[in-house]
A and B are shown apart, each in its own frame.
Chain A
Amino acid sequence: MKRIYSLFFALLLAGPALAQFNLGLHQFTGVPQSTFTNPAIMPQAKFFIGLPVVNSFYVNYYNPSFVMDDIIREVGDSSMLDFSKLYEDRAGKTFSFNVEQQSDLFHLGFRMGRKNFLSFGAYQVLQTSYRLPVDLLRLVQNGSLDPYFRENPVSLNDIDINVKAYVAYHIGYAREINSKLSVGGRFKYLSGIAGGQVEYAQGGINWQTDSLVVTNNFRYNASNLNTLGGGGNLDIGGLAFSTGNNGMAFDFGLAYKVTKRLMITASVTDMGSIRWANDLTSIVSDSSSYTYSGGTINVGENDNGDPFSGVIDSLSNAFKFDRVEPGKEFTTQLNSRYLVSASYEFLKGNQVGVMFSGNRYNEEFYPAFTAFYQSKIWNLLFLRANYTVSPGSFDNLGGALAVKLGPVQLYTVADNLLALGNQGNVSTFNVRLGLNILFGMRGYKDKSPASEDVESFDDN
């Protein structure tokens, strides 16, 4: 037990995490989008339609490295960037932040009989994640004369810039195996809009007064970079059907009702990848090691040049990036997400639960632990509160609200409501909001393990 405890906290205190999906959405079955966290858990609606574009909009920001107040200094009535706290606290390390946005283009689901639920739809995703050396910020702010750099070169080894924009066309199916167990799965065909990832980044900047040594071996593979960079007119719709960038992903889940009130779930989502093969571009810098010691004037030999003009030229050479077209095909993995939970309905329409979730990305695992409470009132109002602990972030108090006005349901889910009041200390924030058309929630006797208890409370 002690070992498990230690492991748990070790995971929590592990390095920077990537964006978590809406933890507040898990088992929030009043909203059909809850199936995205576990395809085995059927929504309460018998039939739902997520109207195009407006049915779900999700944005997530996650920055485990610093908060706004770490980099902003107040100067009178104004604010000014000041990285000093950040680069002092994280000297020699990296900082990372992640931004994800997801928009449902279309979503539809309906029960088939008592034990089956089928859904399909499409959504667009934009995921970006960055990992950069903190020392770069010190270099930008203080310049190379900062005494720190006399002993500490800037490492470029851990740079990561990962961008994925794609449309997922999905079809999901959930089935109640028996009164206790339900399983579900979802298949996603992925059409890549644009993407890029660092293939390798190795190097460093050792900038002393008398020399500048840059080691810069870097390759960034991108698809549709030209399209994205073509005047800023991003035609996502057009790119959604572009051929060449294909992928697939799967969601799997199960729910098991241990008792009438206790249910445990497990799921893994977004297990898949996209193979990028269209309009490929590679940004390459293979300068290996570049040492700039200034121009050399051999007096009497080549003394007609301007040695001082060589500074910028040489720096440009040190960071010279070649654009290689066509680039190299590459594959990006989706951010696989794992989730296990246990919930207990202590009162009809009221559940408490805990869940352990994590993202797997680039062979690393980024965990989060959440405790939640949720309640519903007459199938009209769904409420939820959850508290999440994730690495570097311990004050994530989230909430969810879904209101059903006739067939129309409005909902919003956020994992860190405190961020709105304490914006300077926010390391993570996400919110999902949308609009669904729901049918079949009232009077429906749900026999699924996930809803049986609810019904049982109704019966009571």
Chain B
Amino acid sequence: MLLVSLKHIAAKPMKMFRNQPGLKLVLPLAFLFVLTACIKDKYKPKNFMKPDWEQGFGVPVATFNVTLKNLITEDSTLIFNPDSSIKIAFAQDSLAEQSVSDIIDIPAQAPTSQDLKLGVIDIDNFTTNRVIALSELVGNLSGPTAAAINAASGLTAPFPAMPEQAGGTYPMPALTEFSIVTFATGSLDFNLVNNYPTPLDSLVFELKNTGGASLGFARFGNVAIGATQLRSIPLAGKAMDNDIEITIVKILSSGNPIPSLISLASQLSIAVTGNNLTVIGGVVRIPSQDFAADTTDVDFATTDNEELYTIDLKDGRINFNFQSSISEPIRITVSMPGISKNNIPIRDSIDVASNATTSWVIDLTNSTIDLTTNTAQPYNQIQVIVQAKLISSGTLKPIDSSNAINVSYGFQNIDFSYIEGYFGQKNIVIDPGKLELDLAFLRELGGDFLFANPDVKLKISNSIGAPIRLGLNMRGISVANGNVDLNATPSLLPFPTIPNTSANGIVSFNNTNSQIAQLVSLPPDTITYGGNVLLNPAGNVGSNFLTDNSKIRIDMEMELPLELSAGNLRFADTSDFDGAGTFGESDGSGLQIVGAKLVLQNTNRFPFDINLDLTWLDSTGTQVYSTTVPFVQAAPVDANGRVNLATRNTATVDLNAAAIQNLKNAKRMALTFRMNTGNGGTTVAKLYTDYSLAIRILIEAKVKGLL
């Protein structure tokens, strides 16, 4: 209540106070008037001038952190290692790939043809007998002689002498072995048994084709009573019919003085037997017989004088063709002791009908060819033995020794799974190509640098069982800096000693055996490559082998640790710069900086001596001011070549009034870091992503117009 009352009491004056604002100022204004009147001029605000202070402010403006990690971008080529080291890694698969077809090619083999001639044919020996009774002989003797004998016939009396005279012709039984034949060899043996009662002083038979030509004479002499004598008539070259006769062209006997029974039935027995008869023609009953085996060392053709020892075939066949002009069937047996299938030498029989043509195929799938069976040439030779056998029909067949069976055969569709031999010295060209290696960032670095430990590794995977020497040509091409060749020493590549295995190995190109450092340090715009691989560079020092899957593959891995000596490398960066905001408007309005000092506190963890160029640009890109920050020394490195301490220094750039006036128009600030490794760019430095350069820019400025 009391408060309410007080408010009411005060309400009226308060209202007046509110409604008459002039009134409420009466006393204060009066007071101020009096006070102002009393204030000395020195303290009157109107006499105060603007302070002439020039404040100095030190302002940390910015810290530029330059880390190597930010300067370069990791990609598939530029690799940041777990230990922060950096490498340029580049891999190109199949830099070169040489397959079997590049090493050896099995050409189609020309067919081999041979004739198996029938030649001289054995015929079975035959025997025929003929007896000439005394009475039959007497009938062909001269009259006196016949009379004498007849006279004594039946008597035991001395046998009358028979003067020399012919004794008549006697047909022989017909032969069944042939109808007509021309002998190549052999003879007819006449086995004479004298059962006449008188010795025969001389007896000459002439063998003749009946009514035809003489085949020869058989001459006996002094054939005692009961004695046997053998005489032969050679038949070589003689044609004989199966109808022959013998003629006693001479008979002479002194008679038998010893009386003995003279019987006209007594006989002269003649047995005719063929002996070792072979024929060259005729119509003959040819007995079954084997031909002489034909053994041929067939050349296995190669394309480049390779000397092949063994071939395992995945596929292949031998096509045979038999053409027979023999009137009897022939059984051909083909043997190839150098070709085995399931470890069993190939041997096959083919029946060829008489006077017919027959084809035959021997499948060589999964067979092995031994090409060394010929000791005189223990390579590229396949022994083929063809054995023919005549199969007799038991009938007379016209034959001729010139009759033959032609055997032709050839390897076809040879597809090997393994081949062994000496493949010769072959120079195989590596297809030229271009490495897609992007080293743009190196080019952007500018300056000169040389990689200290470049390493180009060729990863070799070789399943070709042969010594191979690689001659890799590589050329770095730089439009600006020319060309540098790798000049790598040819390298022997690893090769397997066991089929179906691969020999893997690494061939490295480094500073000791190539100019790889110079090549990649160009840096090249383009890297081309080519070259060759040389098979058996030392000649035939051992057998080579291939499988159908053999190949040599060369992948390339290039590793360039960023370990280099460098001179005048450049990193540049540009940032916005508000010159007017920093140093004041160029027209002098607002806060003005009348003098300034740029203080650059540098902490260098690069193993580079560094100079910094600071350039300010106006909105048109025109330089308005530039300066170079003094030398920043390279950071020291430890025994492993890694920076272990930072070097620090402070550089000062005084900006005078003219410079500041120019900088007021600056819109951009460009920083260019020029880097050299120690000792004028000759010391090798290894780079790590955590290398850094911190440039702390401080401004100490004298300001005018702050108050």
A interface residues, Cβ below 8 angstroms from B: 52-54, 57, 59, 68, 72, 74-75, 77-82, 101, 103, 105-106, 108, 120-122, 140-146, 169-171, 187, 189, 207-212, 235-238, 240-241, 292-301, 303-312, 420, 423-424, 431, 433-434
Contact = CB atoms under 8 A, between A and B. Distances in A.
B245 to A, nearest CB: 127
B56 A306 contact: no
Interface string B42-58: 11000111111101111
A78 B49 contact: yes
Interface string B478-505: 0000000000000000000000000000
B392 interface: no
B247 interface: no
Interface string B2-15: 11001101101111
A75 B49 contact: yes
Nearest to B67: A298
Contacts of B49: 75, 78-80
A47 to B, nearest CB: 15
Interface stretch (B133-141, B330-338, B445-453, B694-702): B694-702
B428 interface: no
A307 B59 CA distance: 12
B62 A143 contact: no
Contacts of B418: none
A122 B6 contact: yes
B423 to A, nearest CB: 56
Contacts of A74: 42
A169 B10 contact: yes
B24 A53 contact: yes
A103 to B, nearest CB: 7
Given A144-B58, A295-B62, A106 B574 contact: no
B557 interface: no
Contact of A82 (B2, B51, B61, B574): B51
B9 A295 contact: no
Interface in B54-73: 55-67, 70-71
B62 A310 contact: yes
9 A-B pairs closest in CB distance: A209-B58, A307-B62, A143-B55, A52-B13, A145-B56, A237-B18, A294-B60, A300-B70, A306-B576
A123 B184 CA distance: 172
B27 interface: yes
A79 B71 CA distance: 57
A294 B62 contact: yes
A122 B10 contact: yes
Interface in B1-40: 2-3, 6-7, 9-10, 12-18, 23-24, 26-28, 31, 38-40
A210 B56 contact: no
Given A57-B28, A141-B55, A237-B14, A297 B578 contact: no
11 contacts: A74-B42, A79-B48, A142-B56, A143-B702, A294-B696, A295-B61, A297-B573, A299-B71, A308-B577, A309-B576, A433-B27
A300 B6 CA distance: 75
B703 interface: yes
A298 B42 contact: no
Contacts of B23: 53
Contacts of A171: 2, 6
Contacts of A187: 2
B558 to A, nearest CB: 25
A3 to B, nearest CB: 43
B652 to A, nearest CB: 11
Given A52-B17, A211-B60, 13 more contacts: A53-B23, A53-B27, A80-B52, A82-B51, A106-B10, A143-B703, A146-B56, A296-B62, A300-B67, A304-B575, A304-B576, A306-B577, A309-B576
B60 A209 contact: yes
A311 B6 contact: no
B700 A237 contact: no
B300 interface: no
A305 B66 contact: no
A241 B13 CA distance: 13
Given A308-B581, A420-B38, A303 B575 contact: yes
Contacts of B13: 52-53, 105-106, 122
A308 B696 contact: no
B170 interface: no
B573 A303 contact: yes
A208 B700 CA distance: 10
Contact of B51 (A141, A303, A310): A141
A77 B46 CA distance: 11
A308 B18 contact: no
B7 A169 contact: yes
Contact of A209 (B40, B53, B700, B702): B700
A372 B27 CA distance: 27
A101 B25 CA distance: 13
Interface in B361-408: none
Contact of A212 (B24, B60, B63): B60
B671 interface: yes
Nearest to A139: B55
Contacts of A121: 10
Contact of B42 (A72, A142, A433): A72
B53 A309 contact: no
B599 A72 contact: no
A53 B577 contact: no
Contacts of B65: 296-299
B27 A79 contact: no
Contacts of A423: 38-40, 43
Contacts of A236: 17, 24
Nearest to A170: B6
Nearest to B582: A308
